[in-house]
Amino acid sequence: DTAVSQTPKYLVTQMGNDKSIKCEQNLGHDTMYWYKQDSKKFLKIMFSYNNKELIINETVPNRFSPKSPDKAHLNLHINSLELGDSAVYFCASSPPSGGRTDTQYFGPGTRLTVL
Amino acid sequence: AQSVTQPDIHITVSEGASLELRCNYSYGATPYLFWYVQSPGQGLQLLLKYFSGDTLVQGIKGFEAEFKRSQSSFNLRKPSVHWSDAAEYFCAVGGGGNKLTFGTGTQLKVEL
């Protein structure tokens, strides 16, 4: 059984388009995350949701909008795509931990290429 | 602010040789430390983690790491590397608030 799944795995699109990436976890976790991994493999957190509430919002352009319809899903919508948005986007989730950092379980990633 | 430094961008070892990947962290309180591995085209998989207690932590695939508070380090070791260990390795630090900060990664190549 897939624990954290993302769709699509690959996404190729033109500059200026709007696209969404979906993430689902079946681990029963309360907290979900979106990370961006650039071409140099640097991994940086973008957003975190806990029980559908936004708790971490790093300095990400407001073209990026996460949406959590329920605690098992965290989708990422990107408006007006730019060349610099090309990266691998990872979704992750973690169990309840009383506010401290706990193990994060990662999805397989979505490779976004903006042409 | 928390940060992680992985000073080695690339490391090449021969199969069967021992391995040590370095990680130094900066965090104002007791850190929670993690090592993740990323195989090509894959997501990140947890190798091991340190929260408290014994400073030598055992993980999966024969890996271990040692937390040294005096050196702000959490180096990853394996006594005998296998060709399938070739991957990207990430050290991460966290504290309160579910935020993980990752290092820039070390790419491991294994020569047969």
Residue A99: what pLDDT? 63
Residues contacting B9, CB < 8 A, separation 6+: B104, B105, B106, B107
Mutation pick from B100, B101, B107 vs chain A, by most beta carbons of A within 10 Å, is B100
CB contact under 8 A, B45 and A107: no
In this structure, the strands spanning A53-57 and A43-50 are antiparallel
Which amino acid type is present at position B88?
A: E
Read off the pLDDT of residues A76-90 as tens digits, 9 standing for 90 and up: 999 999 999 999 999
CB contact under 8 A, B97 and A99: yes
Residue B27: what pLDDT? 87
Read off the pLDDT of residues B29-56 as tens digits, 9 standing for 90 and up: 888 999 999 998 888 999 999 988 899 9
Residue B37 in contact with residue B49, Cβ under 8 Å? Answer: no
Residue whose pair of structure tokens reads 């992750």 in the numeric block: A92
Residue B66: what pLDDT? 97
How far the first Cα of chain B sits from its last, in Å, is 41
Residue A67 in contact with residue B108, Cβ under 8 Å? Answer: no
Residue A53: what pLDDT? 86
Q: Which residues of chain B are under the pLDDT cut of 50? A: none
Residue A43: what pLDDT? 92
Q: Would an 8 Å CB–CB cutoff place A104 in contact with chain B?
A: yes
Compute and round to an integer the Cα radius of gyration of chain B: 13
Read off the pLDDT of residues A20-56 as tens digits, 9 standing for 90 and up: 999 999 999 989 999 999 998 899 999 998 888 888 8
Please name the member of A33, A43, A56 whose beta carbon is closest to the beta carbon of B90.
A43
Residue B97: what pLDDT? 67
Mean of pLDDT values over A82-105:
88
Residue A98: what pLDDT? 67
